Amino acid sequence: MKNLIQPQNDAEAEAIKSILEEQGISAEIRSFHDTAYDGLFQSQYGWGVIRVPEEDFAEAKRIVEEWYNAAPGEIPWENDDLSDQS
């Protein structure tokens, strides 16, 4: 497994993992939070990382970059035409 990205929080990590898995790429989330040290490692190393298999790294990176760069109107689940169907 190879580190792909350091998300800012749990919600971002879960969203990215879900997007990757929808595209057939297995992903795991590794948080740096440790209850014994009350989040000390998160303040030093960041929230955590998302890891993917090395052979899927390039494709996963492309998918995440497209997701970050997508304009709100390009999000596939947002459909303005639905408001016209009354």
> Is 57 a domain residue?
yes
pLDDT digits (tens, 9 = 90+) for 12-66: 999 999 999 999 999 999 887 655 555 555 555 567 899 999 999 999 999 999 9
pLDDT digits (tens, 9 = 90+) for 74-85: 655 444 444 444
Selection from 61, 9, 5 nearest residue 28 by Cα: 5
> Is 18 a domain residue?
yes
Residue 25 and residue 12: Cα distance in Å, rounded? 17
Residue 20 and residue 83: Cα distance in Å, rounded? 29
Q: Report the pLDDT value the prediction gives residue 48, as an integer from 0 to 100.
A: 86
> Is 10 a domain residue?
yes
- Domain holding 45, by residue range, is 2-71
Helices (runs of H) and strands (runs of E) counted in the chain: 3, 3
Q: Number of structural domains, the chain?
A: 1
Q: Report the pLDDT value the prediction gives residue 8, as an integer from 0 to 100.
A: 86
Residue 81 and residue 83: Cα distance in Å, rounded? 5
Q: What is the CATH number of the domain that holds 66?
A: 3.30.70.1530
Rg (CA), the chain: 16
